Amino acid sequence: MAVTKPRQKQIKKSESYLDTMLPGLATMVTGSTDQESDMNALRSQSKLVKGTTNWYDDLSTINGKKRSISGLNTDLNTIETKHIIAFKQLLTDVTVGNGNNYVALNVTGLQAPSETAGVSGVGAVVSVLANGEYGSNRLTVVAGANALSPKNLVQIVDSTTKDSIKSGEHEIFGLIQAEDGVVQGDTFNDTDKRIQISFVINNGSDALVACPVSAIENKVIEYLYPDRVEFSNLPEDVSFPFVRFGESASSSDITLNQAISNQGASAVTQVTSVNLNMTDETLWNFRDSTGTDNILQVSASAVGDSVSVTGEFFSTESAQFDFIRQAIEVGSTQGTISTTGNLTFSNNGGDLTLDAGQEIFLDDQNKTASTYSGTFKLSDTSGEFDTFETNFGEVSLINALNQAYSNVTSFTVAVYEIDSSIAVNGNFAPSSHTLLSGTVPNWTTATLADAKIYLNGVRLVHGAAYDFEAGTIPANGDIEFNVALSIDDLLTIEYN
């Protein structure tokens, strides 16, 4: 007899399963024949939804995350409601008042954003001024990534040229601001929900400052303002934030001065070669703060290019000056100026001074090849200069050499061998004795008193009371000796 079990809790599991059924009414509904077919349809759909290999596999892990359908819904909602700041251009002309560096935007005249106030949520991004601040230039911002990129920064252009407007070399931007009392979602008006733009520039030290009145007053502008939207409502023609404070108006408006100002103190890294082609008869001048005195000048000329340095100091670790004719190396070897050819120091307009902190040495290849092994100096001690001054005075080296030469006496020397004895007070007649060298003196043109006479190497003294005086015929060189002369004596006479 059969027994009914009304509280049966278990249905027998599938003997087999299939998770590769194609989706569709015919395969998963009308084609189902039993409970196992229904379960296979569910298994196949589960596999399709999960994107796994098998219906029973775990959810895939992507970047450490597993997302269920509920999780996907949450994440998608986060993306859809994510705030994005896009930029919109307002083409209505706005005239800045005379004497002002701010401008009130007329809502009725369509000068203000059409969106509601985006104080903290969606809408035109504005900062809210304190009580009494509306109607003057204020630096109130909605903080952004840095001091130069507040979220309520607007880009300003000339309404006619569409170029940026500058104060000096700095591009003028604006801060869009609402008056006190405006809250999220308010609609701007011209009574109690008013809106304005305060004009600002980058002062060169990473800060925003009020734009000078003279740079913006009476200008007619258009502007690009920030609009905070949710990602799901992002318009097709969205403009994302412009590059702030890059001083990047139109490409034709970039100047070297502007580019240098933008660069600031940051180093420029250049990994490729840069060529600057200069037309003949043009100059590059690097000047001092007065703008009148050149420190460095580079000149291109058809008759000869040149580089001129006029600063008080020229400093370099080492340098090689390569000229067309010859290279001159300065400091390649420490403390040395060298070249492979002739080297001439030429100064056509002033003095040339060699001023050594210690000593001055002179050297050349002749000394190097000689046996002179020591150093050849201008001087060895300070005492040598003192002696020089005593002997010659404080004069030039050439002057001293001339003085020394003028004090040198030139002598003619005659050497005789005595052929016959001469008694005391006897007369020496040169023609009677052998002249070994020199020439016969003539005492009418030469001065006997200045003569130096040596007898066998012993110097004799001139004078009647001494050793010798003029002889019988002075023109023939005769001398009277007060000493006896013997055969073979050598008599040396120096005279001038």
Q: Is the pTM of this model over 0.85?
A: no
Domain assignments of the chain as residue spans, ordered by start: 15-66, 83-249, 282-339, 412-495
Q: Report which of 241, 233, 238, 237 is spatially closest to residue 80, judged by C-alpha positions.
A: 233
**Residue 284 predicted with pLDDT over 50:** yes
Task: Estimate to the nearest angstrom the gap between the alpha carbon of 329 and the chain centroid.
Answer: 22
Asked whether 44 and 21 are in contact (CB, 8 A), the reply is yes
Which backbone phi and psi does 459 adopt, to 5 degrees? -75, 135
Q: Report which of 221, 239, 104 is spatially closest to residue 171, judged by C-alpha positions.
A: 221
Query: What distance in Å separates the CA atoms of residue 445 and residue 474, rounded to the nearest whole number?
Result: 9
Query: What distance in Å separates the CA atoms of residue 425 and residue 482, rounded to the nearest whole number?
Result: 5
pLDDT value of position 18 = 87
Angle between helix 397-406 and helix 382-392 axes, rounded to 10 deg: 50
Neighbours of 121 (CB within 10 A): 14
What string of DSSP letters covers 305-326?
Answer: -EEEE-SS----S-EEEE-SS-
DSSP category for residue 251: G
**Residue 249 predicted with pLDDT over 60:** no
Asked whether 182 and 106 are in contact (CB, 8 A), the reply is no
Tokens of 484: 């006896």
Tokens of 403: 């003085």
Query: What distance in Å separates the CA atoms of residue 102 and residue 96, rounded to the nearest whole number?
Result: 7
DSSP category for residue 84: E
Cα atoms in the Cβ-side hemisphere of radius 13 Å centred on 398: 0
Sign of the Cα pseudo-torsion (428, 432, 435, 441, in order) = positive
Asked whether 132 and 114 are in contact (CB, 8 A), the reply is no
pLDDT tens across 165-206, in order? 999 889 999 999 999 999 999 999 999 999 999 999 998 778
Tokens of 301: 């000329």
Tokens of 298: 């580079």
Q: Assign 428 a pLDDT band (cuts: 50, 70, 90).
A: very high
Question: If phi over 0 gives left and psi between -120 and 50 gives alpha, with beta otherwise, what is residue 258?
Answer: alpha
**Residue 78 predicted with pLDDT over 80:** yes
Query: What distance in Å separates the CA atoms of residue 447 and residue 270, rounded to the nearest whole number?
Result: 88
3-state SS assignment for residue 245 = coil
Q: What amino acid is encoded at 463 in this protein?
A: G
State the burial class of residue 223 (Cβ atoms within 10 Å of its Cβ: 0-12, 13-18, 19+): buried
Neighbours of 128 (CB within 10 A): 21
* Rg from Cα positions in the chain: 56
Query: Which of 68-82, 229-243, 370-384 is least confident?
Result: 229-243
**Residue 392 predicted with pLDDT over 80:** yes
Give start and end residues of each alpha helix (H) in 85-242: 213-216
Q: Report which of 2, 12, 17, 11 is spatially closest to residue 55, judged by C-alpha positions.
A: 17
pLDDT value of position 10 = 60
Q: What is the helix (H) or strand (E) element at residue 153, kind and residue range?
A: strand 153-158
Asked whether 87 and 241 are in contact (CB, 8 A), the reply is yes
Asked whether 477 and 441 are in contact (CB, 8 A), the reply is yes
pLDDT tens across 296-333, in order? 888 888 888 888 877 666 666 656 665 556 677 777 77
pLDDT tens across 108-160, in order? 999 999 999 999 999 999 999 999 999 999 999 999 989 999 999 999 999 99
* Extended beta strands in 30-183, E state: 83-95, 102-105, 117-118, 123-125, 127-128, 153-158, 166-167, 170-171, 173-178
Beta-bridge mates of residue 210: 200
Query: What distance in Å separates the CA atoms of residue 286 and residue 294, rounded to the nearest whole number?
Result: 6
Q: Assign 250 a pLDDT band (cuts: 50, 70, 90).
A: very low
Average pLDDT over residues 213-227: 96
Strand-strand pairing, 452-455 and 102-105: unpaired
Average pLDDT over residues 71-98: 90
Percent of the chain surpassing pLDDT 90: 40
Asked whether 113 and 121 are in contact (CB, 8 A), the reply is no
Contacts 24+ apart (CB under 8 A), 1-7: none
Asked whether 102 and 198 are in contact (CB, 8 A), the reply is yes
